[in-house]
Amino acid sequence: MKIVVCIKQVPETTNVKINEKTKNIDRRGLGGVINSYDLHALETALEIKRNVGGEVITMTMGPDDFAVSLRETLALGADSSILLSDRAFAGADTLATGYVLGKAIKKIGDVDLVLLGQQSVDADTGQVGPIMAELLQIPQVTYANEVIAENNSLLIKRNLDNVAQEITAQLPLLLTVTDTINQPQYTNVVEITKSFAKPITTWHASELQLDDSRVGQAGSPTIVRSISSPEKAAKVGHKLTNDPREAAAELVAILKKQNILTEED
Partner 1 sequence: MDQKQISKEILLRMVKSFTENEVAPYDMEIDQTRSYVNELLDKIKKYDFLSTMLPEEYGGAGFDGETTAAMINEIARGNASLGVTLEGHFKSIDQIVKYGNQALKDEYLPQAKSRIIAFSMTEPSGGSNPLGITSHAEKKGDEWVINGDKIMITNGGLAEIYCVMVKTAPKELSFFVVDKDMEGFEYGKQENFLGLTGVPVGEIVMNNIEVDDNHLLGKVGMGKEIGDSAHNDARVLMGAVLTGIMEHELNIVTDYATHRKAMDTPIIQMQGIQRKVADIAVAKETTKLLYQKAAWLKDHHQDYEEEAAMAKAYGSRSAVKSGDDALQILGGYGYSLDYPVEHLIRDARAMEIAEGTVEKMRTAIALIEAKNRA
Beta-strand ranges (E) seen in 200-263 are 200-203
Exactly one of 180, 188, 217, 242 binds partner 1 (CB under 8 A); which one? 188
Distance CA 54, CA 1 (A): 4
Instruction: Please report which residue ranges of 17-113 form alpha helices under DSSP H.
Output: 36-52, 67-76, 94-108
Question: Nearer Cβ to partner 1, position 55 or 191?
Answer: 191
Q: Binding segment for partner 1 among 116-124, 164-172, 191-199, 202-210 (CB under 8 A)?
A: 191-199
Q: Which of 207, 211, 190, 219 is nearest to 92 (CA)?
A: 219
Nearest to 67 by CA among 94, 93, 32: 32
Which range binds partner 1 by CB under 8 A, 40-48, 123-131, 186-194, 252-260? 186-194
Among 125, 159, 187, 201, contact with partner 1 (rule: CB under 8 A) = 187
Among 160, 163, 164, 189, which residue interacts with partner 1 (rule: CB under 8 A)? 189
Contact between 7 and partner 1 per CB under 8 A: no
Q: Interface with partner 1 includes 164 (CB under 8 A)?
A: no
Q: Does the protein bind partner 1 through residue 19 (CB under 8 A)?
A: no
40 part of the interface to partner 1, by CB under 8 A: no
Say how many C-beta atoms besides its own lie within 10 A of residue 104's C-beta: 23
- By CB under 8 A, residue 155 contacts partner 1: no
197: contact with partner 1 by CB under 8 A: no
Closest-CA residue to 146 (of 248, 28, 48): 48
Nearest in space to 188 (alpha carbons), one of 1, 46, 52: 46
Nearest by Cα to 57 from 20, 121, 105: 105
Binding positions for partner 1, 45-84, rule CB under 8 A? 65, 67-68, 71-72, 75
Residues that bind partner 1 (CB under 8 A): 31, 33, 65, 67-68, 71-72, 75, 186-193, 196
